[in-house]
Structure 1
Amino acid sequence: MNSKPVYVLGSGAIGFPLAAYLARAGRPVVAVRTRSPHVPRGTVTVSVDDGAERVSAEVETVSLSGLGGLEGTMVVAAKAHANPAIARELAGKAAKGPVVILQNGVGVEKPFLEAGFPAVFRCVVYATGQAVSEHEFRFRPIASSPIGVVSGTRPGLQACVEALSTAQFPFHAEADIQREVWKKALINSVFNSVCPLLEVDNGIFVRSEAAAGLALEVVRECLAVTDRLGLGLSEAEVMAQILRISRGSDGQLISTLQDIRGGRPTEIESLNLEIARVAASLEPPVPLPRVELLGRMVLLKSLQSAGKGTRPAPG
């Protein structure tokens, strides 16, 4: 598999650093622009600063619409709201190879399963990225990122891990990926709602006792769902991870706040709002008033920033 290209779909604050590290390691990689339909095939210099060193690499880039036959590992690093369109386009191009989804959220793999891709893997990314300019990024790895099987085989999973891992951006195989997916979703339901609403960086939870208390309330609501799903998550481990991430904050703005300020859609519908939807679908339903309200407030703020939420309310 390492001889076949890695196509990184979604060239942003996670996708471009991944592509740069793979290119620097001498692996064939193409950064695919999913939001820009008219990017001609060419090469750009991508620079990544991880705090310890700054690296630059020449990365081939092209728009998704400009790609012909695709055969290789397809890494989806775009925002989750684009998944249905990406899955349709890849299926229309008869793309061959595994799909590895590098996204936050619950259920984001569904469009690829519905499109009939036989090998779909989920990755929980433990890293932060922020664009300094179009091709320059700050990137902070937090820990090795787990990848697990949604559909496919263990050998296929191991091949994907080997194809994507570098010293700067490591991955590992994970047997229980849904537990990891939900754990990260709970963590993101805190960071990606509270931080953008307060317009602060993710260090707020160690700076403010009140913010840490709100985080605990959100986590406890979410755990009522994961307990029903039998995922075995504990309040102590989730809160410890939230505080560890917050303690290591370097002042970077959370991606949701970056998206809101840029007038772009956010991931909140696959985080707080999807968690609330799953909770409501259980029998009996599990009420998540804080989780859902915070999600709805972020969605409204996002729509207003994009100019789509300013119409008078009915009545």
Structure 2
Amino acid sequence: MKIVVLGAGAMGSVFGARLHLGGAEVTLLDVNEAHIAAVRETGLSVALDEGTQVLDIPIMRPEVFVDPSDLILLFTKIFHTDAALQTIRRHLNSTPVLSLQNGIGNVERIARHLPMERILIGMTMTPAEFIAPGKVASYGPATTQFHAADGQHRQLLDDIAAAMRAGGIDAAIDPDIQAAIWEKAAFNCAMNGLCALSNATPGAIGASEAGRTLAFEVADEAVSVARASGVAADPDKVRALMRHAFAQHVFHEASMLQDRKAGRRTEIDALNGAVSETAARLGIATPANNTIARLVRLFEDAKDWMTHHQSKA
């Protein structure tokens, strides 16, 4: 398969590397000039459980990509979705898009750019870290679930799953993908939000009684909102994922913590913020998610305010 990875940050680069190792013809698209230069000069260094490899994978800015492909794998931050798809709009006339992005509402964002029958949606629990330009790492199982947004099974789904499995990704075609997406969102609302606010890793959150209690409370609220929305999310699955993270991803830096430490915008609006907004429409109280969302936004607003006013001082 010819697969284009749109958004070659930590997760996009890890997936691109694994798909490349499995035999797919991969092209990475990104706007990080330092990352592009490093991959072009010395290759993409990817550290996996099976060892570190340096891979020769084409990488470029999205607007200069012209070759046809079988699939666009979307890994940009959710707030970059519209702009990213606009840069490759000439490819959207025929090429399907698979979003494995975090959060809630990705189908609706992508549907502004192409018809539902070419939108694929999924989630991945694959850990990924951006070490430096040209260097990424992923330790632990690479598990991914996906399906067509319109619920129709196609040969393309089987082809994608085969390409992923060839690269060591535990891929599953899941007809109940919305439940899996909400379960991961509930997990991320707890783990990403608390890690970002506490400057801690899952091991530290799990070792704290206060941390565990609050994490479960945040996740349970999100699951309740999913179920009220008609999605059969399973709270026991979410709690099992969290316990696994507490025990196995002890020192993993959650993406929202990485973003906050780097002074980047977070995906809070697609996680705790989206849960809070959906809950408000449904008349459900989500005090823990409301507070997490407000605190993370405070970090972002305060940084912007300080940067603006210090520049004038």
- Asked if TM exceeds 0.5, the reply is yes
Higher mean C-alpha deviation, range 116-125 or range 165-174: 165-174
Secondary structure of 1:74's aligned partner: strand
Cα deviations by residue, 1:118-160 (Å, 9 ceiling, x for unpaired): 3111121111111222111120243521111213741232222
Whether contact under 8 Å (1:126, 1:141) holds in the other structure is no
In structure 2, distance between residues paired with 1:240 and 1:39: 37
In structure 1, distance between residues paired with 2:9 and 2:299: 22
Cα distance, 1:224 vs structure 2: 2.4
TM-score computed with the length of structure 2 as normaliser: 0.89
Distance 1:143 1:32, change over 3 A: closer
Distance 1:37 1:92, change over 3 A: farther
Secondary structure of 1:116's aligned partner: coil
Aligned position for 2:25: 28
Aligned position for 2:178: 178
Aligned position for 1:269: 269
Aligned position for 2:203: 203
TM-score computed with the length of structure 1 as normaliser: 0.88
Higher mean C-alpha deviation, range 122-131 or range 39-48: 39-48
Size of the alignment, in residue pairs? 306
Residue 80 of structure 1: which of 74, 78, 81 is its match?
78
Residue 16 of structure 2: which of 9, 15, 19 is its match?
19
Residue 68 of structure 1: which of 62, 66, 69 is its match?
66
Aligned position for 2:144: 145
Match of 1:144, as an amino acid? T
Aligned position for 1:8: 5
Distance 1:28 1:17, change over 3 A: same
The root-mean-square deviation of aligned C-alpha atoms, in Å, is 2.5
Cα distance, 1:228 vs structure 2: 1.2
Whether contact under 8 Å (2:147, 2:177) holds in the other structure is yes
In structure 1, distance between residues paired with 2:71 and 2:41: 20
Aligned position for 1:213: 213
Match of 1:80, as an amino acid? I
Aligned position for 1:109: 107
Cα distance, 1:303 vs structure 2: 3.8
Residue 302 of structure 1: which of 300, 303, 307 is its match?
300
Whether contact under 8 Å (2:193, 2:296) holds in the other structure is yes
Distance 1:184 1:261, change over 3 A: same
Distance 1:94 1:75, change over 3 A: closer
**Structure 1 residue ranges without an equivalent (≥5):** none
Aligned position for 1:49: 47
Structure with more helix by fraction: 2
**Structure 2 residue ranges without an equivalent (≥5):** none
Higher mean C-alpha deviation, range 122-131 or range 65-74: 65-74
Distance 1:245 1:38, change over 3 A: closer
In structure 2, distance between residues paired with 1:38 and 1:240: 35
Cα distance, 1:26 vs structure 2: 3.0
Higher mean C-alpha deviation, range 76-85 or range 33-42: 33-42
Whether contact under 8 Å (2:186, 2:220) holds in the other structure is no
